[in-house]
Chain A
Amino acid sequence: MKIASNGQMKFCRWSSVTGRVTQDSPVIGDIHPLTFFQKNMSSTRQAMLDGQSLPECNDCDVMEKYGKVSGRQKQLLKTGITVKDFAKSCASSPFVSEFEKSLQQGQTDLVPLDWQIDLGNHCNSACVMCAPASSSRLASEFYRIGLIDKLPVLNWTEDSSRVDLLIDLLCKTSGLAYLHFVGGETLITPGFKKILRALMKHDFRQNITVGLTTNLTVWDAEINQMLCEFKQIHLGMSIDSMTQVNDYVRYPSDIQSVTALMNRWIELSRAQNWIPTIRTTPTALTAGELLDIYKFASTNQVGVESCNFLDEPQILRMSVLPLNIRKKISDQIKHWLQDQKIDAKAVINIRDPNHVQQSILQDAVSYVNYLENSPDETHLLPAMVQYLKKLDQSRGNCVLNYLPEYEEIFRSAGY
């Protein structure tokens, strides 16, 4: 289950949160999260059991189409279900009788064991591919330059009664397995510490894995100490380029300090037996940077997880790039892959430390597939250039200083 940055509850951490989902979900606190899970999700549960495709599952459908391990596959695996042996593994799942109970009304009396908690949009970064709902800094800028006409609603974690409601539920869930926290920037969002502190009072914290994603601009020793109290930490480190291109897309970061901090996190993870993963958000601007990310990950044996093929903003999708550029990038990745030994069997549990290399390679293969086969969306190039021009004016920046190889196509599109 997921709580979005505005407090809306969603049935899946991977469900699309973009404009395609028109049905508003209730906000935590307006109804109890357990009521949402047990009762409000009934129609979703019934639709799934009835074999329907849900629009919220589109991102996963696209991932699977291009051979990327999808959120659907990863979540199913936690209940023992594999796509490869779907019928038999489903019938063997510890949850099969629970699915059966949900057949008629869609309801359940279970509790969620695996959460993604978006803490709000409190963020010190204004990444070009981000959205106001996920970055307060970007929201202010968008408002100032007229890209939005109102600021997003207040972060739900600033309302302590809503946070307390969640904490109360989490602390009563003895089988709680995984909490993944996302910001904004997780480490500077007060709600993060508050929830960790509350969980630390309970013995079962030793059974909980905490996941978090950080933008590699923050180091908080107190939080690190708290994290050591939990069974396991899945650390997501957001970076999209090993060069100054990262400074442009993850504005206003500084690649020197970002990589220094990443190495510090990796060192801490090794010492604590945590699982560090590079969390990339590849876009049209960073497609050519992906190979360096894979090489770094491979050398350092750190996983790479790009959540999905970028859906929104549409104008920054890789498929906006001209086909010749896409081919050049995919050829570079393919050339690197030629020297790697790729296992034909998909690694679904990408957090398995024994399969880090294979999971990196399969992610690379999926991007080759995507670059070579996704629909041509070059008609969006002028819109991308207009957007970047607006940001560059606001920031006193120039994308061509970072990506000179794009000068010709950007100029032709109005830069």
Chain B
Amino acid sequence: MKKFSDLLATDLHLDLVLTAEPVGVPDVEIWLNQQLIHQGQLLNSFTVSTPLPLLSEISVSVKLKNKFYSLESETAVVVTKLSIDRFDLVPRFTHLAQYTNDHDFKDPTSYVGFNGEWKFKVSKPFYQWQHEITGQGWLFQPCRITDIL
């Protein structure tokens, strides 16, 4: 790409990769941008690799359900990989995930061992979000004034 007009003519997207590993046989729902991509017992490693629109918000949700703590104390689902355009969000940015669960466990983790929802949200265009979370400094916004000239 040499010219800006080339950029406008190029179809750009993000590449998301998500891997979830079972511990035991967890009952799991996995959602990507409000779309259910897995439901039920997770018997093996689950990986999804998919393109996403460049500017859209991204929401990944992993829910653990129906765990009986007295019978299956080890059962869990572990998000071992979540990357966008090869930029790893787990484990480096695990602290940005929201984990709501029935044990009120709040420490940053990608080990979903309690019934509840682990959610990772990118609430603005990914590259703007990446700019912020990696400490790249200013991100200017266009500014206009009308009463000078």
Number of chain B residues close to chain A: CB under 8 A: 33
Q: Hey, which chain B residues are within 8 Å of A103, CB to CB? A: 4-5
Q: 0/1 per residue, B106-149, Cβ < 8 Å to A? A: 00000000000000000001111001000111111111110111
Q: Assess whether B35 is interfacial by the CB under 8 Å rule.
A: no
Q: Assess whether B85 is interfacial by the CB under 8 Å rule.
A: yes
Evaluate contact between A91 and B12: CB separation under 8 angstroms.
yes
Evaluate contact between B144 and A92: CB separation under 8 angstroms.
no
Evaluate contact between B85 and A85: CB separation under 8 angstroms.
yes
Number of chain A residues close to chain B: CB under 8 A: 47
Evaluate contact between A87 and B4: CB separation under 8 angstroms.
no
Overall SS of chain B's interface = loop
Q: Hey, which chain A residues are within 8 Å of B135, CB to CB? A: 349, 352, 354-355
Evaluate contact between A92 and B3: CB separation under 8 angstroms.
no
Evaluate contact between B4 and A99: CB separation under 8 angstroms.
yes
Nearest CB of A to B33, in Å: 17
Enumerate A37-80 residues with CB–CB distance to B below 8 Å: 48-51, 77-80
Q: 0/1 per residue, A86-123, Cβ < 8 Å to B? A: 11111111110011100100000111011000000000
Evaluate contact between A113 and B148: CB separation under 8 angstroms.
no
A178 CA to B143 CA, complexed, in Å: 13
Evaluate contact between A80 and B139: CB separation under 8 angstroms.
yes
Evaluate contact between B136 and A178: CB separation under 8 angstroms.
no
Q: Assess whether B10 is interfacial by the CB under 8 Å rule.
A: yes
> Which one of A35, A89, A109 has the greatest number of beta carbons of chain B within 10 Å?
A89
Enumerate B1-44 residues with CB–CB distance to A below 8 Å: 1-8, 10, 12, 14
Evaluate contact between A85 and B12: CB separation under 8 angstroms.
no
Contact partner of B147 among A85, A172, A177, CB < 8 A? Answer: A172
Q: Hey, which chain A residues are within 8 Å of B4, CB to CB? A: 48-51, 90, 99-100, 103
Q: Assess whether A348 is interfacial by the CB under 8 Å rule.
A: yes
Contact partner of A109 among B14, B126, B144, CB < 8 A? Answer: B144
Q: Which residues of B contact A (CB under 8 A)?
A: 1-8, 10, 12, 14, 54-55, 85, 125-128, 131, 135-145, 147-149
Give me 20 other A-B pairs in contact (C-beta within 8 A), A77-B136, A88-B85, A114-B138 excluded. Answer: A49-B3, A77-B138, A79-B139, A82-B127, A86-B1, A87-B1, A89-B127, A92-B54, A92-B128, A94-B139, A94-B140, A110-B142, A111-B145, A114-B140, A169-B148, A172-B148, A177-B138, A352-B137, A354-B135, A355-B135
Q: Which residues of A contact B (CB under 8 A)?
A: 32, 34-35, 48-51, 77-80, 82, 85-95, 98-100, 103, 109-111, 113-114, 168-169, 172-178, 348-349, 351-352, 354-355
